Structures are given as C-alpha cells and as structure tokens.
Amino acid sequence: MKTQRHIIIAILLGTLILYGYIYKFIISPIGFSNPTGDLIYFGIVIPIIILITVSFLIRKKVWAEPYFTSKYNYFNEKVRYSKEYNIPKELLLEKVIEITEDSKFKIVNIDNKKFKIFSISLLSHNTFGENLYISFSEKEDHTSMNFCCTTIHGYSSWGRNKKHINKLINQIEESLII
C-alpha cells in the first residue's frame, strides 16, 4: 500500500513537471497562453527544486537533525530502530564509532557529552544519500541505542535505510561477541 502511494505520487509529480516543461518551452513560445501552466511551473516545480537544494545544503549540519527526523517532514523517509544492551553507554558509543568508521557512512559529528553520533552516506548512482542519527541513553541497568536513518530527499529509500540499519546492528552484535 505504501509503495503504491509513492509510485502514484511520483507519477503525478512527473506528469506535472512534464506538463510545466512542455508549456514553458513549447506552447508559450508559439504564442498560446495558459495560466494553469504558470501555476504548475511556479507553484510546484520551482518549490520542489528549492526544497531539494536546501536539503542538500543543510544535510551535513548538526542543527538540521530536527528537520530531517521530524514526523511532520513528509519529504523524506525515516526508519527508526531501538536496541537495548547490557553494557555501559560509554563503551557502546566507542564500539559504534569504530564500526561506523569502517562502514560506508562518514562520521560528521560525535557528541561525547550527549552520547550522539551523526553520520552520512555519500551520493551514488542510486541514492541522494542518507543521514544516520544514533543516540544512547541509560535506563537502570541497560543502555538503549536509538537509530534514525533518513533520506535526504525522497518519499522512499526503497529499503536502503532499513538495510543500512540492519547491517550496522549485525556488525555491532558481532563485535560484542567475545
């Protein structure tokens, strides 16, 4: 159901963008006027381009975490996962830093006081990149590790976010086995 919705939204946006392009560069120069074409072009296409550009400009900023992880941000997909361990958060933080450095993610910021890690994946032929936010908290005798992996721009990561989190979890689990 969710995938069908994403496909329908992509087709509708693609159609609107194509219509705006055809109007702006083919119909308008011939002399026909279409106010709906201007509305689509300037009301939909330009804001989408601006949104993508802003997302790329702020993606490496630590202060942009609330924007990318907000449940009200419908322009990117978020995958959240939480796991509990029976080891101190200081030790778990060091272990996760070590594993993240060996993964395809590049660490942007480590906050040792708040026990947070912020890392990104680079652009590739099939993705705009992802942001990975990891935080740690202690509850009684165990440490809770919280992941949030977000796309930079896009309604769906086509399973990449979940795959990245699962891979990191597996690597962490393997490293903790003595």
Contacts with 82 (C-beta within 8 Å, 6 or more apart), sequence order: 144, 145, 146, 147
Beta bridge partners of 143: 85, 138
Question: What confidence score (pLDDT) does residue 69 get?
Answer: 84
CA dist 118 and 49 (Å) reads 26
Mean pLDDT taken over the chain: 76
Fold of 62-176: Alpha-D-Glucose-1,6-Bisphosphate; Chain A, domain 4 (3.30.530)
* Domain definitions of the chain by residue range: 2-58, 62-176
Question: What confidence score (pLDDT) does residue 135 get?
Answer: 92
The model carries a pTM of 0.72
Question: What confidence score (pLDDT) does residue 106 get?
Answer: 87
**Which residues of the chain carry a pLDDT beneath 70?**
1-13, 16-43, 124-127, 153-161, 178
pLDDT tens per residue across span 81-105: 888 888 888 888 888 888 888 888 8
Question: What confidence score (pLDDT) does residue 1 get?
Answer: 44
Beta bridge partners of 57: none
